[in-house]
Amino acid sequence: MPDKKVAVVTGAGRGIGRAIAVELAKRGCAVAVNYSRSEGPANEVVEEITAAGGEAFAVKADVSNAEEVKAMFKAVSEKLGPVNVLVCNAGVTRDNLLMRMKDADWDDVIKTDLSSLYYCAKEAVRPMLKGRWGRIVAVSSINGLRGSAGQCNYAAAKAGVIGFVKSLAREVASRGVTVNAIAPGFIETDMTAVLPEDVKSQFIASIPAGRAGTPQDVAGVAAFLVSDDAAYLQGQVIAVDGGVTMQ
CB 193 within 8 A of CB 150: no
Which parts of 85-104 interact with ligand NAP (CB under 6 A)?
89-92
Residue 205, phi then psi, degrees to nearest 5 = -65, -25
CB of 229 to ligand NAP, least distance (A): 23
Of 35, 119, 154, 232, the active-site residue reads 154
Measured from the CB atom, the residue of 182 and 230 that comes closer to ligand NAP is 182
154 catalytic per annotation: yes
CB 188 within 8 A of CB 226: no
Please tell me the distance from the alpha carbon of residue 92 to that of residue 83, in angstroms, as a whole number: 25
Closest listed residue to residue 120, CA positions, set 147, 162, 90: 90
CB of 15 to ligand NAP, least distance (A): 2
Q: Is 62 in the site for ligand NAP (CB under 6 A)?
A: yes
Q: Is 141 in the site for ligand NAP (CB under 6 A)?
A: yes
Please give the torsion angle defined by the CA atoms of residues 244, 137, 76 and 118, in that order, rounded to the nearest 10 degrees.
-100
CB of 140 to ligand NAP, least distance (A): 7
Among 112, 115, 153, 180, binds ligand NAP (CB under 6 A): 112
String of contacts with ligand NAP for each residue 5-44, x by CB under 6 A: -----xx-xxxxx----------------xxxxx------
How many degrees, rounded to 5, is the angle at CA 242 between CA 238 and CA 245?
Answer: 60
Measured from the CB atom, the residue of 113 and 123 that comes closer to ligand NAP is 113
Measured from the CB atom, the residue of 59 and 133 that comes closer to ligand NAP is 59
Measured from the CB atom, the residue of 141 and 178 that comes closer to ligand NAP is 141
Q: Is 69 in the site for ligand NAP (CB under 6 A)?
A: no
Measured from the CB atom, the residue of 133 and 222 that comes closer to ligand NAP is 222
Residue 14, phi then psi, degrees to nearest 5 = -140, 165
3-state DSSP call for residue 237?
strand
Q: Is 191 in the site for ligand NAP (CB under 6 A)?
A: yes
Please tell me the distance from the alpha carbon of residue 168 to that of residue 185, in angstroms, as a whole number: 24
Roughly what angle, to the nearest 10 degrees, separates helices 15-26 and 215-226?
A: 50
Count residues near ligand NAP (CB under 6 A). Answer: 30
Please give the torsion angle defined by the CA atoms of residues 227, 114, 72 and 74, in that order, rounded to the nearest 10 degrees.
70
Catalytic residue list: 154
Q: Which chain residues interact with ligand NAP by CB under 6 A?
A: 10-11, 13-17, 34-38, 62-64, 89-92, 112-113, 139, 141, 184, 186-187, 189-192
